[in-house]
Structure 1
Amino acid sequence: MKRGRGDGWGDGQDDDAESSETWERWRGRAGSSDGPDGFRRGGTGAASARLAVEPVGRSTGRTGPAWLGYLPLALLVTAGIAIGGITLLRILGGIGRERARDLALPTQPSEAPIEALGAIDETTLQAWIERLADPSLGGRDTPSAGLDRAQAWVAEEFRAIGLAPWTTHDSAHDSAHDLPHGGPLARPLGDETLRPYFHPFRASAAFFGRVPYEAPLFSGPGRGDAVCELILARSDARFTAGTDFVPIARSSAEDPIFRGEAEADLVFAGYAIDSRPNEYDDFADVDVSGKIALVLDGEPEGGAFEGRFQDDEVTAEACLWNKLDALAREGAAGALVVDLFTEDAPLEYRWTRAYWNPPTMDQVRGGLPTLRISVAAATTLLGTSPLALAEAIRGAGAPVAAPVPAGTKVRMRAATIREDVELRNVVGQIASEPGRGYLVVGAHLDHIGVGPRGRIGSGADDNASGVAAMLAVARALMSEDGRQRLAGTGVLFCAFTGEEDGRVGSEALVARLRSRPVAPGSRGRCLGMINLDMIGRGPATSAVVLGLTECPEMRAPFERALSSGLHGFDRVQEVTSPEFFQRSDHYAFYEAGIPALFLFEDWPHLPGIYHTWLDTPEKLSVPKVASMARLAALVAFELAR
């Protein structure tokens, strides 16, 4: 789910104090009267200044009744009461706008079992959730190679279920465009037969909600010579960009292009950590001044480090930016950071680092030239495996020396540039018959990536749960019974990208719907949209729906679906919250005049794992996800009627 400004869903999982810089970013521009919940505050600033009152009967020397002396105080008290009353009314008004009530449910099913719902099974849902939340997908950031793989997997599932690609009759627009930076989206799909399920669109670099997109400057047309490189000077051997090394995004608002380069002797500097509380110092016996330091990602853990550093949590010592700060203080000329997870997985460029909830002080800073390198590249440079070095440190409980081959000099350049990026949604369809309308069932596929301490946001609840439920709904509606109940009504199934960056994908899809037919020879009316986002936590037999107040035409179909009793819930809350209603992909459809419902897990929202690395599959109730899928399918059948 898209983060709200000053989100109050934190659980204090991170002990770092929130920096003033971070707070200003979340609450809006400095000096704004916007509060952390996004609502305007009253009774501050200019309004307070206008309360100044000139003393009465003093500056003129005239005297008057004694009570006149108390008039300024009386005016101030009256004004204060008035402002307080206005503020109270505003608060009460906000409370009035955010409410929840239970909807009526039957005590037993009022309809015979629907055969199509039998296609929704918990074993398959569990497998789908685990697949999408697998750490190998790197948190499914937009854009990233991990998200590319997740999208290809969803397209494969669409095809296996029997969904057809969505035809928009615009092959020039819908074909994938290779971008000049040679980044993750320019790589082949692997299975080109999946391409019709992808609907690409371009987003400007500045369009993203968190930070502008920043591409690695790899060699390519129009790039010149100032591109990323890593060369072992003694043999002039060149490592391969995108395979052996990638840059770290470091551009600034003042300079949209970042280039940092160095040529120096290589030295191994462990984890680049100097921590007195943990009795560990990688710099005690290593001089990195004027050298390029090869360092390990993360921090020591386990073995002889029991009771130090990480017990159940990763400490701030593992933060990439803290490592680079330490190296800069020690006078290093550059840094090569070994990604220890690349032994069995490809090295992947990350244009951003996850911001956890609540925000921490793990913010981008410093300008030391830096490349992330693979285990294989580090082994070539050091003459020994960095994994073996990490294990030696773990066993010794202290830094270990790694003699670098004599004369090992390295030439490196890190380069990134802000530029537009191509993104894509994944869309499959049950085509509508001529003259019939269509529905949209959607869920966002993206999450927030990997944090600067190496912690992966798996996004099991947010939103592998919703995507898995969407696939289950597709299976139910594609069954023979499901097709009969749809009676020619079409359905688009959409795995959106960029929801975490401000509903980028759903906005693009809505623009496409406005301008292109959904099925050959038909421009059917969109009957409604059902959005599944964060549906796996909380009591297994309760659910939340938003949108019935905003879209009254959805109330009757939804209540008919509830009355069937075939979903598995014994409590469904209708929540009205104008601010919360804007927080996911359905809102793009609502703004376009398309009725939309938002199915959600619980209210008030459960604290603890939202936008943290703790959002993992074992925290979810798969029976609840199955019930959500059944409810969505029932609503779809009612809308088709």
Structure 2
Amino acid sequence: MKSGLMCGAAFLLGAAPVFAQTAPSHFNATKIAGHIETLSSDAFEGRGPATPAEDKTIAYVSAKMAEAGLEPAGDMKNGARGWTQDVPLLRAETVGSPTITLNEGGSTKTLTQGEEIAVRAPLDGTKAIDIRNVPLVFVGYGVTAPEKKWDDFKGVDVKGKLIVVLVNDPDFETGAGDFGGKAMTYYGRWTYKYEEAARRGAIGTLIVHESKPASYEWATVKNSNTNVMFDIVRENPKASHAPVEAWIQRDLAVQLFRASGLDFDGAKKAAQSRAFKPMPLNATLSIYLKAQSGRIVSHNIAGRVKGTTHADETVVYSAHWDHLGVGAPDAKGDKIYNGALDNASGTAALIEMGRAFASGPKPQRSVLFLAVTAEEKGLLGSEYYATHPLFPLATTVGAINMDGIQMLGLAKNFSISGSAKLGLLDDLIAQGAKVGRTFTPESHPEAGGFFRSDHFPMAKQGVPAISFKGGNDLVDGGTAKGEALAADYTKNRYHQPADEWVPGTDLSGAVQDLDLLYTLGEKLANSREWPQWSADSEFRAARDKTAAARK
């Protein structure tokens, strides 16, 4: 769920209420619960890529796909497809505790990894960070957007410096402006800010964490950035990664600005204008961090129902199987990040979606069920598939991603991650209307959900793609209850060891959602429809380039 990545549902504790089904379902809540309970158990150790838990996960998911009636759809080996697709990755892990020293206004302070600062193991191809007294400069939101006549750098050379940047977009605070108001653009994502620093030759980036614009608490930042890091294998990693990629707490940023005679809130306000100019800070930072790094191979898992008349055309359902593995202990001493909602639940849904298609009338088009790796490390498994597809993207009809499923009971509405204008969403809305459910645009577009789930790499390649989200307008409790429970999950369980399976969790809403997604995929798989992006979509041009392959 991220790049990480944030789910839109939460756990409802206690006895599950009973809801009447309006029509026979294709799905069984007990089967779904069994998969979640197994995959999120301590035995699977948080499903970290390139750990023994990956082997367990692959064995379980592929066995259940076979049991459901799917055929292997992975890499060709010895003349036949297997269940997995090799995904080569760079793996980097911090060795011991880094030494981090801040010098501000002549006074020296030692920073603690995971407390005031979270420094990632280097992904630029080196095996250590060793910087001494590197100057800091505040560059606002760190955005260069010529099409918006916006440049936060104003010609300032940041080579040899650490840039301090704000998370999200310049108009997040005001809700209006050049960057879509509250809805985050890619310029607001932390991945963009790291990339821009590398393009400009900076030593690195310090992103100031604030819970609202980031859409998650510091615990999520710490847990996601101080453990094992991964990246796709790049020909020139230094072009995408500066040596230092880190976050700092807001309180530390306030202190830094004060030592430089600046007011943090005032500087943030100034950064919301295109007239903003970089502000040098009266501070330097030294970091020594040793890392182990090397190439490993993780795996996507793929099963398929082969089409009867148009087998070369593919509808894709996806979900990421990975989570954070074993990491720093929480207050209770728990070190296993079980990832029940995120995303054992989506993997469970994927297996059962495969069963529904395999046990019913065979579709005209093929349907692929893709469990991808390393989502939590930056959508890496889906990025690899999107650039090394098992089946041609030109004849991929659409992609439906499941990152977390509904665990709050029945809902009157449904949503998707982020905002998108495309025919695939129109189809989903139409199918929902048939069963009396309404589409609600994402309630928190400032969270940048469109860029944080595994449909995004497919969209970048032009494939019509959405990531489904369960509704927040609950039959029992309405939107007030739905929003409160989702916020509680984000604060207390998201990317924390507390994301565990709770027996008695209500999965009636999950069954409801999966029936909806099944009817959407079935319609696509038995039609000649080719969903398209809107004419003004940034993904339309990539899709149009392959138009000749679609009949």
1:474 is aligned, of 354, 360, 367, to 354
1:606 is aligned, of 484, 487, 490, to 487
Please show how residues 205-604 of structure 1 align to structure 2 within 5 Å: 205=91, 212=92, 256=127, 356-357=219-220, 359=222, 417-433=292-308, 435=310, 437-453=313-329, 454-481=334-361, 483=362, 486=363, 488-513=364-389, 517=391, 525-542=395-412, 544-546=414-416, 550-565=420-435, 570=437, 572-575=439-442, 577=445, 579-602=448-471
Spell out, residue by residue over 1:46-72, the C-alpha distance to the aligned partner (whole angstroms, 9 max, x if none).
Answer: xxxxxxxxxxxxxxxxxxxxxxxxxxx
Counterpart amino acid of 1:498? Answer: A
Instruction: Give the 3 Å change call, closer, same or farther, for CA 147–512 of structure 1 in structure 2.
Output: same
Instruction: Give the 3 Å change call, closer, same or farther, for CA 564–477 of structure 1 in structure 2.
Output: farther
1:624 is aligned, of 493, 509, 527, to 509
1:606 counterpart SS class: helix
Q: Distance in 1 between matches of 2:369 and 2:224?
A: 39
Q: Distance in 1 between matches of 2:417 and 2:35?
A: 27
Instruction: Flag structure 2 segments of 5+ consecutive residues without an equivalent.
Output: 11-20, 96-119, 130-217, 228-289, 473-482, 528-551
- Is residue 428–residue 493 contact of structure 1 (8 Å, CA) maintained in 2? yes
Please show how residues 164-179 of structure 1 align to structure 2 within 5 Å: 164-166=71-73, 169=76, 171=77
1:199, distance to aligned residue in structure 2 (A): 0.7
* Map of 1:131 onto structure 2: 38
Q: Distance in 2 between matches of 1:550 and 1:361?
A: 27
Q: Distance in 1 between matches of 2:422 and 2:455?
A: 15
2:90 is aligned, of 187, 201, 204, to 204
1:545, distance to aligned residue in structure 2 (A): 2.2
TM-score (norm 1): 0.44
Q: Distance in 2 between matches of 1:161 and 1:627?
A: 20
- Is residue 213–residue 421 contact of structure 1 (8 Å, CA) maintained in 2? no
Spell out, residue by residue over 1:251-297, the C-alpha distance to the aligned partner (whole angstroms, 9 max, x if none).
Answer: 99997289xxxxxxxxxxxxxxxxxxxxxxxxxxxxxxxxxxxxxxx
Spell out, residue by residue over 1:150-189, the C-alpha distance to the aligned partner (whole angstroms, 9 max, x if none).
Answer: 12100001111111111655x48x99xxxxxxxxxxxxxx
1:438, distance to aligned residue in structure 2 (A): 1.3
1:592, distance to aligned residue in structure 2 (A): 0.9
The answer as to 2:77 corresponding to 1:147 is: no
Instruction: Give the 3 Å change call, closer, same or farther, for CA 3–537 of structure 1 in structure 2.
Output: farther
Please show how residues 63-78 of structure 1 align to structure 2 within 5 Å: none
CA RMSD of superposed structures (Å): 3.9
Give the greater-gyration-radius structure (CA): 1
* Map of 2:2 onto structure 1: 2
Tell me the matched-pair count.
320
Q: Distance in 2 between matches of 1:457 and 1:420?
A: 24
- Is residue 4–residue 453 contact of structure 2 (8 Å, CA) maintained in 1? no
Instruction: Give the 3 Å change call, closer, same or farther, for CA 491–544 of structure 1 in structure 2.
Output: same
Counterpart amino acid of 1:152? Answer: A
- Is residue 415–residue 442 contact of structure 2 (8 Å, CA) maintained in 1? yes
Higher relative contact order (CA 8 A, sep 6+): 2
1:544, distance to aligned residue in structure 2 (A): 3.2
Instruction: Give the 3 Å change call, closer, same or farther, for CA 493–363 of structure 1 in structure 2.
Output: closer
Counterpart amino acid of 1:535? Answer: I
Spell out, residue by residue over 1:437-488, the C-alpha distance to the aligned partner (whole angstroms, 9 max, x if none).
Answer: 210001100011122224211111001111111111111111234x2xx2x1
Instruction: Give the 3 Å change call, closer, same or farther, for CA 629–419 of structure 1 in structure 2.
Output: same
- Is residue 538–residue 602 contact of structure 1 (8 Å, CA) maintained in 2? no
The answer as to 2:68 corresponding to 1:161 is: yes
Counterpart amino acid of 1:606? Answer: A
1:359, distance to aligned residue in structure 2 (A): 3.4
* Identical pairs, percent: 22
Spell out, residue by residue over 1:324-350, the C-alpha distance to the aligned partner (whole angstroms, 9 max, x if none).
Answer: xxxxxxxxxxxxxxxxxxxxxxxxxxx
1:540, distance to aligned residue in structure 2 (A): 3.0
Q: Distance in 2 between matches of 1:158 and 1:495?
A: 11
Counterpart amino acid of 1:201? Answer: V
- Is residue 510–residue 592 contact of structure 1 (8 Å, CA) maintained in 2? yes
Q: Distance in 1 between matches of 2:432 and 2:499?
A: 29
- Is residue 533–residue 599 contact of structure 1 (8 Å, CA) maintained in 2? yes
- Is residue 314–residue 396 contact of structure 2 (8 Å, CA) maintained in 1? yes
1:147, distance to aligned residue in structure 2 (A): 2.3
Q: Distance in 1 between matches of 2:223 and 2:74?
A: 44
2:442 counterpart SS class: strand
- Is residue 300–residue 381 contact of structure 2 (8 Å, CA) maintained in 1? yes
1:635 is aligned, of 506, 513, 520, to 520
TM-score (norm 2): 0.51
Spell out, residue by residue over 1:491-550, the C-alpha distance to the aligned partner (whole angstroms, 9 max, x if none).
Answer: 11011100000010001111222xx546xxxx9711111111111333432553226952
Q: Distance in 1 between matches of 2:508 and 2:374?
A: 28
